[in-house]
Amino acid sequence: MLIINEELLAIDQAIDSLVLHFLGLPEVEVYRLKRQKFEGDRTLQQQLLEFQELRESYEEAKKYEAYRSDVRDLKRQVLRMKRQIDLNEVVIAYRQAELDLQAIMASLGQDIAQAVSDQIFIDTGLPLAPHKPHHKKGATNIKEKMSND
């Protein structure tokens, strides 16, 4: 049962303060502008819709690739269109803004986790960030350590 006390209210206020601070960062505003530009680009949105339809048709036909030569051509079309979308300047800018926000959120998450315990690992999801290997069975995770004590 959740007990509401001064500590819980202080944590809630700290969370609200952190969110307000985060939303006020210049990177958040850049992200919002890049997202608006991404969503407002009608040509790009049409391209994304066409790509999605093409990819779905390839996924359906993929199982017959060994029997139908046209499926390989369809796959090439999908890859060509994906590359065209990936090289779009609006898409590149939007993804970069997302990555910048993800780095900030990862840093915040790590700081919060370190304030609680050095044993907490935060997987940031960033491409070059360290990844913790999967834990092995037998007294290597927190739950097992606590039950063995």
Q: Can you give the residue ranges of every domain in the chain?
A: 26-114
Residue 98 pLDDT: 94
Residue 12 pLDDT: 87
* 28 neighbors 19 (Cβ within 8 angstroms): no
Query: Is the overall model pTM greater than 0.75, yes or no?
Result: no
Residue 142 pLDDT: 61
- Mark the ranges of the chain whose per-residue pLDDT is less than 70: 1-2, 128-149
Give the span between the Cα atoms of 112 and 90, in whole angstroms.
Answer: 33
Residue 132 pLDDT: 64
